[in-house]
Structure 1
Amino acid sequence: MSHLAGKRILLGISAGIAAYKSAHLARLLKKAGAEVRVVMTEGAQAFITPLTLQALTGEAVRTSLLDPEAEAGMGHIEMARWADIVLIAPATADLMARLAHGHADDLLTTLCLATQADCMMAPAMNQAMWRHPATQDNVTRLTEYGWRLLGPDAGDQACGDIGPGRMLEPEAIVAMLFAPADNLPLESASASASIDSAPDDTVSLDALGLAITLTAGPTREPLDPVRYLTNHSSGKMGYALAAAAARRGARVRLISGPVNLPTPAGVERIDVESTNEMYEAARQSAIDSDIFIGCAAVADYRAERFSEHKIKKTSGDEALELRLVKNPDIVAAIAVAEPRPFVVGFAAETRDVESYARDKLVRKNLDMIVANDVSQAGLGFGADENAALLLWRDTTSESGRLELPPQSKATLADAIITTVMERFHAKQREALQTPQQDTP
């Protein structure tokens, strides 16, 4: 179950070109199990229609403070009390200024003054407007009043400028709703941020907009209607990786074997049972993925024949013979597919960890591999902690090895995703710098 399940979210939309993203944001919030009601400013309706948001949320969209029907029951106060979270996305410079100075001249600003909910906003404006001292003064006021700013991101803008001010992608916003404040971009989390801060001064959103497919957990190979072959994987490492990637702004699709874990915020989850089911889901998902991470503990073999009825113990038999056949090798198949994503494999070993991992890295044509010794007590399968050895193939550097000591799986996941993103971006830069051969 998502951390957003059952949360009551009041989504405010103000008049910015980024309002088109708000429809997707509303859809993601609903998909995560939240109750969503939308309030739009008058200007927002020039960019996206209330009918669109009503269709996506299943709730009437409020646009006017002086709505006689709603105000008969003090509707704006009721909505302010209803919300667990007030999220404004996009938040324009004008709206930020009005909120910073306590205005209540439309429905959205009135609700914000009246609510005791957690208040968050995703700024969206031209880079010069974001950097202007007046806007930065308003950022200071808003953070002092308890507002939490999600973003902004930096990059190309609709006006043609480049710099900070872009609204975060909806996936990143959903993932950051429950992230601690010290995981937010520094320009947003600190009231004293410099208006000259460069995009590099922000906490990493290096996966922003990237499509990442992860596999996690075990697979089950049925023998008969009541028995199956499986392993001890709990899925904790894969789920921690999915959460870490989503916090960095990636669009994460998690293909999960049977586990008892909640879906991380902002992550799309696909449940499977057998290796063949995981293979088909991974093959389809990898087609439009930038990165594929095969963290699942996949069963290498399955029963050659599935018994339609429970296999009975026969009197006098001291042994039962099962014939097993090979399952498809998921990560190896993705590594030779076209188009090919950046492929990261995992190696759970009990001895000669580095030797086996290096062999797997080359033999399966992987870009990177994460190896761990599952024979160590308190680490690996089912545990809350893990250690890892990261190996990669790199033509631009002699350093292709990083050892990560025992730590919580959540902390380890952040370190692994950091290295994955470093290697992914390095490979992208290398591809751009490599001259293309003319085809004769």
Structure 2
Amino acid sequence: MLTDKRILLIIAGGIAAYKSLDLIRQLRKRGAWVTPVLTKAGAEFVTPLAVSALAGEKVYRDLFDLTDEAEMGHIQLSRSADLVVVAPATADLMAKMAGGHANDLASTLLMATDTPVLIAPAMNVRMWEHPATRRNIATLRGDGVMVVGPNEGDMACGEYGPGRMSEPEEIVNAIETALAEGPLAGRRILVTSGPTHEPIDPVRYIANRSSGAQGTAIARALAVMGAEVVFVTGPADAERPEGVHIVEVQTAQEMLEAVQGVLPVDAAIFAAAVADWRVASASDSKLKKTKGGIPALEFAENPDILATVSQMEAGRPGLVIGFAAETDDVIANATSKRARKGCDWIVANDVSPETGVMGGHENAVTLISDEGAEHWPRMGKHEVAHQLAERIATALGSL
């Protein structure tokens, strides 16, 4: 997807700068051309020689290089790329971008460019959570700057929390999404993902173990292939996909309303693990333990989102795909579900505890359609997503 794409990569200061070397390697491996720009602080963490050797290009560092500036080199640099990527994007550089400062090569390039910009923030957790950074990131998003990450985890400073730069593979995926011109261009696709939380009282709820990882991977794969993706997600643990429109919900009823608000779409993929039941009358106050014994909870059935959309008489998507997470008689139950709901395909998988699928990184699915049951080998959830996206592109191309 990145063959002959030109990436202007700005490497700012911070320990995460070491990841930029692997990022360059992965971009080059996928056929992209990388023009590196190294800030003064960035050069304290990675050497210009290492960056240049991996990129196969000159490293630009100084705004006032007379040879380049005689021809307004910073203007040419800022506009000759298909995408400007800042990785790592430090709190300082983000503040410059948000404030419109241009006092070095990196900030001047970012001010002068008419090319889309993607940033991968990286900083200490307290810096990331500081009100000034939150204001700056909101300003940048409002200006159309795309953001990938940051992730949560241990930091070099010894603290834990959000602020770690996304891994190179995640950044490459975000770059592919930003530059997508694939077979799904012009198609609008809905993806639901994650669990739903059905309240018992203000502090308790009914949920399931879905991480949302498979739904996120599917949304990302569809976006990489050029689709306009609307991602309706419950409170999932997985990172939200980049380059898609995200709608956050909590309950099954909220998810149904969000889905109905998204329609019409060309295809709808219902990967969310929606709770089948809810408490009929959730308490407005926290239920207290009393001597009267355990409170009795009366349950009500949640709306069936997949069946509702599959059985629409007008405005039904051309392709409706459901998921069947089963622990017993997987194929039989999934086949029955497809007929009962009225969807076109069912992606069935075994989520028994010993499989490690629910909340894990791999999946083993069976695609059930009019043509029967097609078993796919166990593979990473990202691979499952790309294979499914390719099938969707083929199916929509024949509609």
The answer on 1:265 being equivalent to 2:260 is no
The answer on 1:389 being equivalent to 2:384 is no
Aligned with residue 411 of structure 1, among 383, 391, 396: 383
Unaligned runs of 5+ in 2: 1-8, 11-68, 85-104, 117-145, 149-168
What residue in structure 1 maps to residue 281 of structure 2?
A: 305
- The amino acid across from 1:306 in the alignment is A
Question: Would the alpha carbon gap of residues 376 and 221 (structure 1) be closer, same or farther in structure 2, given more than 3 Å must change?
Answer: closer
The answer on 1:229 being equivalent to 2:224 is no
CA distance in 1, matches of 2:249, 2:174: 35
Question: Would the alpha carbon gap of residues 85 and 305 (structure 1) be closer, same or farther in structure 2, given more than 3 Å must change?
Answer: farther
Aligned runs of 1:11-410 on 2, under 5 Å?
86-87=81-82, 179=172, 205-285=182-262, 287-315=263-291, 317=293, 319-337=294-312, 338-341=314-317, 342-375=319-352, 377-393=354-370, 399-410=371-382
SS at match of 1:206: coil
SS at match of 1:231: coil
- The amino acid across from 1:330 in the alignment is I
What displacement does 1:372 show? 0.3
- The amino acid across from 2:198 in the alignment is E
What displacement does 1:259 show? 1.8
SS at match of 1:405: coil
Q: Does the aligned pair in 2 maintain the 1:216–1:254 contact within 8 Å?
A: yes
What displacement does 1:86 show? 3.7
Question: Would the alpha carbon gap of residues 385 and 78 (structure 1) be closer, same or farther in structure 2, given more than 3 Å must change?
Answer: same
Alpha-carbon displacement from aligned partner over 1:143-192 (angstroms, at most 9, x marks no partner): xxxxxxxxxxxxxxxxxxxxxxxxxxxxxx999995479979xxx9xxxx
CA distance in 2, matches of 1:297, 1:177: 24
Alpha-carbon displacement from aligned partner over 1:16-58 (angstroms, at most 9, x marks no partner): xxxxxxxxxxxxxxxxxxxxxxxxxxxxxxxxxxxxxxxxxxx
Q: TM-score, normalised by structure 1?
A: 0.52
What displacement does 1:206 show? 2.3
What displacement does 1:402 show? 1.5
Aligned runs of 1:420-435 on 2, under 5 Å?
420-426=392-398, 428=399
CA distance in 2, matches of 1:301, 1:418: 34
CA distance in 2, matches of 1:418, 1:324: 40
- The amino acid across from 2:326 in the alignment is E
Question: Would the alpha carbon gap of residues 80 and 259 (structure 1) be closer, same or farther in structure 2, given more than 3 Å must change?
Answer: farther
Q: Does the aligned pair in 1 maintain the 2:181–2:226 contact within 8 Å?
A: no
- The amino acid across from 1:329 in the alignment is D
Question: Would the alpha carbon gap of residues 180 and 120 (structure 1) be closer, same or farther in structure 2, given more than 3 Å must change?
Answer: farther
Q: Does the aligned pair in 2 maintain the 1:179–1:247 contact within 8 Å?
A: no
CA distance in 1, matches of 2:174, 2:194: 30
- The amino acid across from 2:304 in the alignment is D
Q: TM-score, normalised by structure 2?
A: 0.57
Q: Does the aligned pair in 2 maintain the 1:216–1:297 contact within 8 Å?
A: yes
SS at match of 2:376: strand
What displacement does 1:378 show? 4.5
Would you say how many aligned residue pairs link Structure 1 and Structure 2?
Answer: 260
Percent identical: 35
Q: Does the aligned pair in 2 maintain the 1:369–1:392 contact within 8 Å?
A: yes
Over the aligned positions, Cα root-mean-square deviation in angstroms equals 4.1
CA distance in 1, matches of 2:71, 2:298: 68
CA distance in 2, matches of 1:225, 1:401: 43
Question: Would the alpha carbon gap of residues 182 and 269 (structure 1) be closer, same or farther in structure 2, given more than 3 Å must change?
Answer: closer
Which of the two has higher C-alpha Rg? 1
Q: Does the aligned pair in 2 maintain the 1:209–1:249 contact within 8 Å?
A: yes
CA distance in 2, matches of 1:226, 1:181: 36
CA distance in 1, matches of 2:307, 2:331: 19
What displacement does 1:209 show? 1.3
What displacement does 1:314 show? 1.3
Q: Does the aligned pair in 2 maintain the 1:88–1:120 contact within 8 Å?
A: no
Alpha-carbon displacement from aligned partner over 1:261-306 (angstroms, at most 9, x marks no partner): 3332211100000100000001121x22000000000011111101
SS at match of 2:303: coil
Q: Does the aligned pair in 2 maintain the 1:85–1:120 contact within 8 Å?
A: no
SS at match of 2:325: strand
Q: Does the aligned pair in 1 maintain the 2:174–2:242 contact within 8 Å?
A: no
